[in-house]
Amino acid sequence: MRTTMKQIDIRPYTQGELAAMYGVSTKTLRNWILPHQETIGKRVGRLYTTKQVELIFDKLGIPG
């Protein structure tokens, strides 16, 4: 059996881009992130930083 890992770039993402990657609405993504807000921190402008994206992937799992 062959398994392939989807390559996901760790770069700054908007909330909408992350929601699309997870296949959910932005409101649902916000609700998922809310319990981890203290660890992840607030967005810088419209983007989550690369460090925040790493933390989101760590807490919520890799999308896809």
Q: Read off the pLDDT of residues 17-38 as tens digits, 9 standing for 90 and up.
A: 999 999 999 999 999 999 999 9
Distance in angstroms (rounded) separating the CA atoms of residues 2 and 41: 37
CB count within 10 Å of CB 50 equals 13
pLDDT at 41 over 60: yes
Global pTM value: 0.85
Calculate mean pLDDT across residues 48-56.
Answer: 96
Q: Which residues are bridge partners to 62 per DSSP?
A: none
Q: Is 33 exposed, middle or buried (0-12, 13-18, 19+ CB in 10 A)?
A: buried
Average pLDDT, the chain: 91
Q: What φ, ψ does residue 14 adopt, rounded to 5°?
A: -80, 165
Q: Are 16 and 26 in contact (CB under 8 A)?
A: yes
Higher pLDDT: 11 or 4? It is 11
